[in-house]
Amino acid sequence: MWENMEIGLEKAGPAQLKVKPAQESLGFGGHFTDHMFLMKWDRQKGWHDAKVCPYQPFILDPAAMVFHYGQAIFEGLKAYKNTNGQVFLFRPRDNFERMNSSALRMCMPRLPVEKVFKGLKALVYLDRDWIPTVPGATLYIRPTMIAVEPALGVRPAGEYFFFIIMSPVGAYYREGFSPTRIFVTDKYVRAVKGGVGHVKTSGNYAASIMAAEEAHKAGYTQVLWLDACDRKFIEEVGTSNIFFKINDELITPPLGGSILPGITRDSVIQLALKWGVKVAERLITIDEVIAASNDGSLQETFGTGTAAVISPVGEFCYQDQKYLVNNGTTGPLAQRLFDELQAIQNGQQEDPFKWITRVG
């Protein structure tokens, strides 16, 4: 039935069009474009009623299962516009494939990737005037699936909404591309193996908020998560994957089931390998990082993610001790990765990996 799914188009009328915010002071995720994509799923019809329509609220039953048991998954990707007005998406199919892995783990229906991709391209093209053009600003795209069947039994829901909304954004962190300060927590954990840490499901983010709040109160930008069993192996930083450059080797924790398989993480690994940088996906403990900081072999640390792109770490705090990384400044590899990724994403540079898709 997916194959026969047409995508409807309802354009916003003049009275529904919003005033666009100033591009210089966007912040992250506070403004939304004029249109959205929406489609529905139930057991009888599968995916149906796919449409691009004016951005609008939903009316949901208070018993909708997402409110009670949290069957909700999402993705984050971005659209970019170059100086000629051409529009690009970065690795969009990878996001929808990852969403399908999340759907499988959360007992939610599989997305028809090509149809959804067609809907996304129509949406981005329609709202292309919302894509910021000032340096550092982009259009963040949030595909989301939620369980909407009204029922209180704990089981997979029989009805879902899938929607895509879009938000013009500036930098995710207040620091922008400047180095962040990171608090290493051994009090809270993010995920356990066998759980859903590798899944982009909303509950993971809800569960992370308290640790992040405590870190903010102590003056830090984000939390560095350690593994749940030994509380010594490094997992992720905030909502991003993490990399360390030690003795000229780029090290990142392996995807062992508790870490999100980041698309920016994968892009960074591929770029670094292409440049001849030695890369290791291996377990790394906080003690190894501290030892490297103490003996001067820790050259750089940075987070990677769609929202944060590359986010250098200038300092971390573990058990009341503070450690500076690269004297608190952005390292050359983080800078090169940031510049290269941005140039590819903006269509300003050759794209040897075929990562970008032109929309219009």
Q: Cβ distance 25 to 43 under 8 Å?
A: no
Does residue number 259 form part of the binding site for ligand COI (CB under 6 A)? no
Nearer to ligand COI, 227 or 236 (CB): 236
Q: 327-348 b/e with 16+ CB inside 10 Å = b?
A: eeebbebbbebbebbbebbbbe
Nearer to ligand COI, 76 or 92 (CB): 76
CA distance 267 to 193: 24
- Give Cβ neighbours of residue 296 (< 8 Å, ≥ 6 apart): none
Q: Which residue is nearest to ligand COI (CB)?
A: 76
Beta-carbon-side half-sphere exposure of residue 328 (alpha carbons within 13 Å): 5
Q: Which of 138, 167, 239, 241 binds ligand COI (CB under 6 A)?
A: 239
Angle 141-145-146 from CA coordinates, rounded to 5° = 135
Q: Which of 65, 76, 106, 299 binds ligand COI (CB under 6 A)?
A: 76
Stretch that binds ligand COI, among 7-15, 95-103, 114-122, 301-309 (CB under 6 A): 301-309
Q: Which helix (H) or strand (E) holds 120?
A: helix 113-126
Least distance from C-beta 32 to ligand COI, angstroms? 15
Contacts (CB under 6 A) with ligand COI, residues 175-234: 205
Label residue 206 exposed, middle or buried (CB < 10 Å: 0-12, 13-18, 19+): exposed
Write the binding mask 17 to 56 for ligand COI: x where contact by CB under 6 A, - elsewhere: ----------------------------------------
Residue 340 identity: E
Q: Which of 241, 306, 330, 357 binds ligand COI (CB under 6 A)?
A: 306
Least distance from C-beta 207 to ligand COI, angstroms? 13
Does residue number 346 form part of the binding site for ligand COI (CB under 6 A)? no
Write the binding mask 127 to 166 for ligand COI: x where contact by CB under 6 A, - elsewhere: ----------------------------------------
Least distance from C-beta 357 to ligand COI, angstroms? 18
Report which of 206, 175, 8, 167 is spatially closest to residue 78, judged by C-alpha positions: 167
Stretch that binds ligand COI, among 153-161, 221-229, 304-312, 338-346 (CB under 6 A): 304-312
Interface with ligand COI (CB under 6 A): 76, 205, 239, 305-307
